[in-house]
Amino acid sequence: MTNAPDTEKTNNKKARGTGPSVFKVMQSVAAGALGVQSNKRHEEDFASHSPWPYIIGGLLFTTLFIGTLVLVVRVVLSGQ
């Protein structure tokens, strides 16, 4: 039974987690915005300990989306 402490440490690391990576948050936000996120990813996102990375990612995505729309409208209207 010498492996018990090692197994316990591994399980504790998995339980605590280090949070989602920036790339994973970006993928989740984009997939959620498009409505194509899988149930597995959805469950992983909600299992995260903190909602803040997703809130910040959503706000950044929304800001970039609105900025892009404003830019496109200005370019189209300036061409007339």
Q: Where are the domains of the chain?
A: 20-78
Residues 6+ apart with CB under 8 A from 2: none
Digit-coded pLDDT (tens) for 64-79: 999 999 999 999 999 8
Tokens of 15: 């339980």
Kindly give, in sequence order, each residue whose CB lies less than 8 Å from that of residue 54, ignoring residues fewer than 6 positions away. 20, 25, 28, 29, 45, 48
pLDDT per residue as tens digits for the range 48-67: 888 999 999 999 999 999 99
d(CA 45, CA 30): 13
Share of the chain above pLDDT 70, in %: 78
